Amino acid sequence: MHFIDNHQITIVPDSATDSDLARTIADQYDLEYSPNRQPSTPYRLVVSASTITLQLASTPLRIVVDYTQGHAAHRRQFGGGLSQTLAKAIGLKKGHRPNVLDGTAGYGYDAFVLASLGCQVTLVERHSVLIIMLRHALKQALSHAITQNIAQRMTVEHADTFTLLTLKTAPVADVIYLDPMYPSRKKSAQVKKEMQLLHQLLANEGPNAGLLAIARKRAKKRVVVKRPISAEYLDDLIPHSQVKSKNTRYDIYLPTSA
């Protein structure tokens, strides 16, 4: 099932020595390959052994998923630990670390926060390009002393979460976390450049009808939905409780019986 037009993206090597690696990745995920660093598609994923960079032609946007430095490292060190809103919404408490299925993994930054706080997290993502970036970031994090233990708590799965949860018959995790793309998010300074690019890349994202309902059947303790602060509820469903910060709201739903 293709939700994204993968013909918008070309896998290109960073230099001639990266050609085999770039071609292997393109073949593995059924994506276009070109040895030319300026392909005609709007998006390109530039591959080298050390870095994978998502670029949107005609803009300066360059995205690298990296848990070892930058804002992931900053959030790990200074994000507020158990008192940050994400941790509260998921239900982390002293001595209590629910396991989490992140059903809309994206760049995996929220999942990384939860894993850094001690949760086992399964990251499910349906877009091949993000899976390539996630797997690379995880491999890199596993080889860094500071992020190694955290990355060991993260597992990446390439799947559509609705399909995955429909195929299961028993609960898959204590908590299912959902952060689906929100179409009318404003292009303000608050929307970081990574998210802007994700928005453009996934502009034709398929619908997520029924995702919340099936998640409530497959979560043991709760489903948490991340939304912009003033967004409507997902599927117009009023949550049982909420945790809010200035720009973000976490809507918490209790499980329903399978």
Ligand X SMILES: C[S@@+](CC[C@H](N)C(=O)[O-])C[C@H]1O[C@@H](n2cnc3c(N)ncnc32)[C@H](O)[C@@H]1O
Nearest to ligand X of 34, 53 (CB atom): 53
Q: C-beta of 243: minimal distance to ligand X in Å?
A: 15
Q: C-beta of 85: minimal distance to ligand X in Å?
A: 13
Residue type for position 69? Q
**Separation of alpha carbons 100 and 124, rounded Å:** 11
Is 208 near ligand X (CB under 6 A)? yes
Binder to ligand X among 165, 202, 212, 214 (CB under 6 A)?
202
Q: C-beta of 106: minimal distance to ligand X in Å?
A: 3
Helices 70-78 and 109-116, axial angle in degrees (round to 10)? 30
In the region spanning residues 165 to 184, those forming contacts with ligand X, defined by CB under 6 A, are 179-181
Which regions of the chain does DSSP assign to beta strands (E)? 9-13, 32-33, 43-47, 52-56, 62-63, 100-102, 121-125, 154-158, 173-178, 219-228, 241-244, 248-253
Binder to ligand X among 13, 108, 239, 255 (CB under 6 A)?
108
Spell 144-157 as b/e; 16+ CB within 10 A means b. eeebeebbebbebb
**Separation of alpha carbons 46 and 129, rounded Å:** 11
What number of chain residues touch ligand X (CB under 6 A)? 22
Nearest to ligand X of 13, 122 (CB atom): 122
Binder to ligand X among 91, 106, 239, 255 (CB under 6 A)?
106
In angstroms, the first-to-last Cα distance of the chain is 25
**Separation of alpha carbons 205 and 127, rounded Å:** 9
Q: C-beta of 258: minimal distance to ligand X in Å?
A: 19
Helices (H), the chain: 19-28, 70-78, 85-90, 109-116, 128-142, 148-151, 161-167, 193-201, 211-218
Is 125 near ligand X (CB under 6 A)? yes
In the region spanning residues 38 to 97, those forming contacts with ligand X, defined by CB under 6 A, are none
Nearest to ligand X of 18, 175 (CB atom): 175
Q: C-beta of 78: minimal distance to ligand X in Å?
A: 17
Residue nearest to ligand X (CB): 106
Binder to ligand X among 43, 162, 250, 253 (CB under 6 A)?
162
Q: How far is CA 204 from CA 176, 186, 227, 251, in A?
A: 24, 17, 19, 25
Binding-site ranges for ligand X (CB under 6 A): 103-104, 106-110, 124-127, 130, 160-162, 179-181, 198, 202, 208, 211
